[in-house]
Amino acid sequence: MTIRVLAAGDHFVQNRLLVDALRREVPGEVDIRELTLPWPVEPFGRVGEVDEASDVEEELIEALRGVEVCVTQMAPLTKRVLDASPDLRLFCVSRGGPVNANLEAAARAGVAVTYAPGRNAVATAEHTLAMLLAATRRIPQTHADLAGGVWRGDYYTYDRVGPELEGNTVGLVGYGAIGRRVARMLEGFGATVLVHDPYVDVPGKVPLDELLGRSSFVSLHARATPETAGMIGAAEIAAMPRGSVLVNCARGALLDYDAVCDALESGHLFGAAMDVFPEEPIPPGSRLLTTPNLIMTPHLAGASKQTAMKAASIVAADVARYVRGEPLAHVATP
């Protein structure tokens, strides 16, 4: 029996990766259609009732006619799409969470939604460490000066140099797949690692206030939930030692960015590095664009070739389980 699949890839998790993984993993005949979404050339946004999706409802509805399985990263699974796609039974999102899918509407329609946990854990952990080092050693700023023909010896003065990782304490807020990898890397640098995460029990676990008060470096790795929204604000940053460094490669909702700017401008924070923001893209005129000692990257901590390949393999493996009649490994719907 032939199963009809839509590969709705984009310019990161490309259709060729999805198709290759499906051909490799799925038994039997597979009829694969393709739809290429515009992300990341065009930013994602809210589409209907779902977040962080490409605005392609019309194209998706047309491509899903007669399709039983869809594998994608950014396609919007809205109620409108579900109502127009009666043959759809499985929607595989190649991301760490299916934020672009209406899970309640999917469950009512009898459509299982899966996702790809851990796909970008290695890339994000490596990027976190790079951001931490770049902020501490002021690599972007010094490079910009040199590229502009300026040799600034004052960067070597005692008050301008940052701390070393070896012998210092790093606090990790959140200890999932990414946080654990960051901890292993930091231990290789000779740092002491503290952890705050209510869902794990590991050596070095401490209350948040203790972690903030003892850490020369703090890195955020928690998921964005109603409980974690705004968990690091002005009071929490003030509790960090003067001259410390704050890194966020997790979610913008975790952090009060005005408080970060205040702490950098006052000199309370030596530096900060951010890959995620409360509004993306960053709007013109934002304080973030002019605050000193702030390093930023455009939400690409998880961007690596291996992340894209892992994402395709994880969703293809769940399609194979579906075809074989086995339980899905990463199902998000009831």
Active site positions, annotated:
251, 280, 299
CA distance 324 to 331: 16
CA distance 303 to 294: 21
- Angle subtended by helix axes 305-324 and 15-25, to nearest 10: 40
String of DSSP letters for 148-195: TT---GGGGSGGG----STTSEEEEE--SHHHHHHHHHHHHTT-EEEE
Q: Are 177 and 184 in contact (CB under 8 A)?
A: no
Number of neighbours of residue 326 by Cβ within 10 angstroms: 10
CA distance 319 to 313: 10
Question: Does residue 34 sit in helix, strand or coil?
Answer: strand
Q: Are 102 and 78 in contact (CB under 8 A)?
A: yes
Number of neighbours of residue 135 by Cβ within 10 angstroms: 25
> Where does the chain have alpha helices with state H?
15-25, 57-63, 79-83, 103-108, 121-137, 139-147, 177-188, 208-214, 234-239, 257-266, 305-324
Q: Smallest Cα–Cα separation from 212: which of 248, 195, 236? A: 236
